[in-house]
Amino acid sequence: MKTLVLGLGNPILRDDSVGLRVAQEVDRLIPANPDIEVGLDYWGGLRLMERMIGFDRAIIIDAICTGASPGTLHLLNPDDIPTQRSASAHDVNLSTALEFGYQAGAHLPPAKDILLIGIEAADVQTFDEALSPEVEDALPAAVEAVMTALSDAGENE
């Protein structure tokens, strides 16, 4: 089962970088495995869907803002993300992008095999390379969540 572990975020926009930090740590921890690719990226929507082409399974790590306490982990499936009327000003939402990819016949992980790990952010509007303390403190648990997900699929054996 070819698995993509992808950290998303902007490295210079404070807590938005948390997904990148988690993915980098996971990359350091797991032994080389041709079936697991760890990557860093920046885009949601169509670009994120296109990045998943060729994989059977994906674990996406990103900052999220839901109003929960900063550092809270959210384990989500693409179907859990509320889909509303309008896409981003520049893109489509992930569910729409995935549907577009499925309809176009792209080899993509089924929605049930896409795990979104969201780490609640405190601040994604200040240019800074450091994380907020509460989000920094959540890094080990977020890394553990990725490792557990990989382990559940027997991928890190």
Partner 1 sequence: MKRISIDPITRLEGHGKIDIFLTEDGEVANAYLQVPELRGFEQFCVDRPAEDMPNITNRICGVCPEAHHMASSKALDELWHVDPPPTAKKLREMFYSIFFATDHTTHFYALGGPDFVVGPNAHPSERNILGVIKKVGMDIAGKVLKMRHDGHHLIKMIGGRPVHPNWGLPGGVSRGITEEQREEIEALGRDAIEFAKFSLQLFNDVVLGNPDYVSLITGGLFTHETYNMGTVDENNHINFYEGMIRVVGPDGKEFAKYDAKDYQEHIEERVEPWSYLKFPYLKKVGWKGFEDGMDSGVYKATPLSRLNAADGMATPLAQAEYERLFDTLGGKPVNHTLATHWARLVELLYATERWVELATDSEITGEEFRVLPTETPDEGVGSVEAPRGTLTHHYWTDERGILTKVNLIVGTTNNNAAINMSVKKAAQGLITKDVEIKEGLLNTIEMAFRAYDPCMACATHTLPGQMPLEVTLRAPDGEVIEHLAQNLD
CB of 154 to partner 1, least distance (A): 27
Q: In what order do the strands lie in the sheet with 114-120?
A: 36-41, 3-8, 57-64, 114-120, 73-76
Q: Which of residues 39-98 bind partner 1 (CB under 8 A)?
A: 41-48, 50, 62-66, 76, 81-94, 96
What single letter denotes the amino acid at residue 127?
Answer: F
Q: Which of residues 137-156 bind partner 1 (CB under 8 A)?
A: none
Residues linked to residue 123 through DSSP beta bridges, in sequence order? none
Residue choice 30, 106, 139, 147 for contact with partner 1 (CB under 8 A): 106
Calculate Rg over the CA atoms of the chain: 15
Residues linked to residue 5 through DSSP beta bridges, in sequence order? 38, 59
Which residues are near partner 1 by CB under 8 A? 8-13, 16, 41-48, 50, 62-66, 76, 81-94, 96, 99-101, 103-106, 116, 118, 121, 124-128
